[in-house]
Structure 1
Amino acid sequence: MVEVMIEVEVVYAAVDRQVLLTVAVPAGTTVRAALLRSAVAEEFPELDLASCPVGIFGKVIADPERRPVEVGDRIEIYRPLLADPKEVRRLRAAKAAEAKARSQ
């Protein structure tokens, strides 16, 4: 029996560079298995592909060990945030309020 292969993309953007790889995997391959089969670990050895957060087309996948990939999926590997966006907005608002109070 011939194994049906499908193509998916794997993308990752580090601070200084990004990569987009096309990977052929057997139909039924999970998101995590597709990541492990890709060459992204060779490009970015600091990545922990066994546990990093991932998504498909901007939607986080809760269980990448179970979710099978589909033809044309773009698997995105997410980096941890350097700063909490809510905290950054709060600090910016406080700074603006302080500047306004000084100018009055």
Structure 2
Amino acid sequence: MVEVMIEIEVVYAAVDRQVLRTVAVSMGTTVRDALLKSGLNAEFPELDLASCPAGIFGKVIAEPAIRPVQAGDRIEIYRPLLADPKEVRRLRAAKAAEAKARNQ
């Protein structure tokens, strides 16, 4: 029987560069297996593809070891945020309030 192959994309954005790789996988391949097949861990040794959070087109996949990929999917590998967005906004608002108080 002929194995049906589909193409997907795997993307990762490190702090200093981004990589988008097209990968051919067999039908029924899981998100986790597609990540491992991408080989991005060779370019980014700090990346643990066996356990990193991932999503498809911006939606987090709860169980990447179970979810099969579909032709044309773009799998995104997520990394931890460098700063908490809420904390950054709070600090910016406090700084703006302080500047406003000085100018009055």
Identify the TM-score tier after normalising by the shorter chain: over 0.9
2:46 corresponds to = 46
Give yes or no for the alignment of 1:91 onto 2:75. Answer: no
- What are the superposed Cα offsets for residues 11-56 of structure 1, whole Å, 9 maximum, x if unpaired? 1111111111111111001000100111211111110111111111
Give yes or no for the alignment of 1:64 onto 2:76. Answer: no
Identity %, equivalent residues: 84
- Whole-Å separation in 1 of the counterparts to 2:97 and 2:17: 37
The total of aligned residue pairs comes to 104
Gaps of at least 5 residues in structure 2 are none
Query: Which residue identity does 1:48 align to in structure 2?
Result: D
CA RMSD, 1 decimal: 0.8
2:74 corresponds to = 74
Structure 1 residues 6-21: aligned runs within 5 Å? 6-21=6-21
- Whole-Å separation in 1 of the counterparts to 2:69 and 2:57: 12
- Whole-Å separation in 1 of the counterparts to 2:94 and 2:18: 35
Gaps of at least 5 residues in structure 1 are none
Secondary structure of 1:19's counterpart equals: strand
Query: Which residue identity does 1:11 align to in structure 2?
Result: V
- Whole-Å separation in 2 of the counterparts to 1:39 and 1:62: 22
